[in-house]
Structure 1
């Protein structure tokens, strides 16, 4: 299990990519663009979280909230 200081919510993570103009809220859906997870095209909510968390500004790209996500990672 991850230590708490390595874990965080997607809405506060630099690997969370959402639609242009969207705000990173609990219910906002987006794409996880963490480098080792990009091939999975993992769609997550702002309230999701994991131990690959890295605090920072979220990214924005059209198609990030689609199911399945159509956007490419912008970082």
Structure 2
């Protein structure tokens, strides 16, 4: 197993995933990735997505995180 594989995880379990204030944490919930390296991209992704920038934790919440394109500012 390569070292990047050890850091891979699902968005719904990541502190860099930001969802709407009333949204449930689920595979199909759409949110914004607020990881610093990806903020300029405004990556809108479902809870079932994942990557190697994963950081375990509870998702952040902000109004506008699931809009197309996302309108929320990162909250962490």
1:5 Cα shift?
Answer: 1.7
d(CA) in 2 for partners of 1:2, 1:39: 26
Aligned length: 75
Gaps of 5+ in 1: none
Q: Deviation of residue 21 (structure 1)?
A: 1.4
Is 2:36 the counterpart of 1:35? Answer: yes
Q: How does 1:44-55 map to 2 (within 5 A)?
A: 44-55=45-56
Structure 2 counterpart of 1:17: 18
CA RMSD of aligned residues (A): 1.2
**Runs of 4+ residues over 6 Å off in structure 1:** none
TM-score by length of 2: 0.93
TM-score, length-normalised on structure 1? 0.94
